[in-house]
Amino acid sequence: MPGAPVLQNAWASPGIVGAVNFAGGDGSTYAAAAAWSPASARFQLSGGIGLRSRAGLGSKSVYGVRAAIPFGGASSAFGFGAFAGVGGGQGSTGAAGGSAATDTVANTTAIPVGVAIGWRHAIGTRGFSVYATPAYVFSTGGSNNTGLVRTAIAADIGLSKALGITAGVEFGQNRARGASGPSGTLYGLGVSYAVGRR
């Protein structure tokens, strides 16, 4: 979703997971999300929808969908994968790094494509993982289309078999004035619940 960091773990968990999320750094985004992976955990589909607020621009609806494929072993401590997605919504653009925008566009679209590299460790029935997601983010909207290289670093922490927390930051190239796309350092926090897991 525009305004939220691209956080993608290197593994997938079978079943359905729902989450509530907050992102900041270039406005504020509040969202709900869900992910599904088959019993084989060979791929993951996820999506979310929310509201993004930026200073002087009000609240705009945003959305995002993503597909990810893990390539590491299901029980390995180190993993890697690939992902691609698309997100968009009503948006606006302005000077890189600035919160105020003088150039506006009706809609923006972001297409991230990247890889996920991670490490995980179990602690009893709980566990945690840390991962990096370098990505190329192609954005349309405004007077210019942009392609930016961005990287996110994040952690997933399992509080129980069903409840988890995700936190991460994204940084890298910034959009130019008059173009859509991320600007500055973005950060995100999410709380997730695995449906039916005990």
Residue ranges making up the domain that contains 106 = 15-194
Domain annotation covers residue 9: no
Tens of pLDDT along 121-176? 988 878 999 999 999 999 887 667 889 999 999 999 999 989 999 999 999 998 87
The token duo for 118 is 């991670």
Q: What is the mean pLDDT of the chain?
A: 88
Tens of pLDDT along 38-97? 999 999 999 999 999 988 778 899 999 999 999 977 788 999 999 999 999 875 544 444
Mean pLDDT across 109-122: 95
Whether the predicted pLDDT of 11 surpasses 80: yes
Question: What is the spatial distance between Cα 191 and Cα 19, in angstroms, rounded to a whole number?
Answer: 5
What is the residue type of 180? Answer: S
**DSSP 8-state assignment for residue 55:** T
Domain annotation covers residue 168: yes
Give residues with Cβ within 8 angstroms of 137, minimum separation 6. 6, 110, 111, 112, 147, 148, 149, 150, 181, 182
Domain annotation covers residue 73: yes
Count of domains for the chain: 1
Burial class (CB in 10 A: 0-12, 13-18, 19+), 184: middle
Domain annotation covers residue 26: yes
Does residue 44 come out as left (phi exceeding 0), alpha (psi in the -120 to 50 range) or beta?
beta
Residue where the block lists tokens 């290289």: 149
Domain annotation covers residue 182: yes
Give residues with Cβ within 8 angstroms of 160, minimum separation 6. 125, 126
Question: What is the spatial distance between Cα 191 and Cα 168, in angstroms, rounded to a whole number?
Answer: 12
What was the pLDDT predicted at 106?
54
Domain annotation covers residue 7: no
What was the pLDDT predicted at 94?
47
What was the pLDDT predicted at 73?
76
What was the pLDDT predicted at 143?
65
Mean pLDDT across 26-47: 95
Give me the CATH number covering residue 137.
2.40.128.130
Mean pLDDT across 182-186: 90
Tens of pLDDT along 161-181? 899 999 999 999 988 776 777
Instruction: Identify the band that residue 194 occupies on the pLDDT scale cut at 50, 70 and 90.
Output: very high
Domain annotation covers residue 6: no
State the DSSP string of 106-173. EEEEEEEEEEEEEEEEEETTEEEEEEEEEEEEEEE-BSB-EEEEEEEEEEEEESSSSEEEEEEEEEE-
Domain annotation covers residue 35: yes
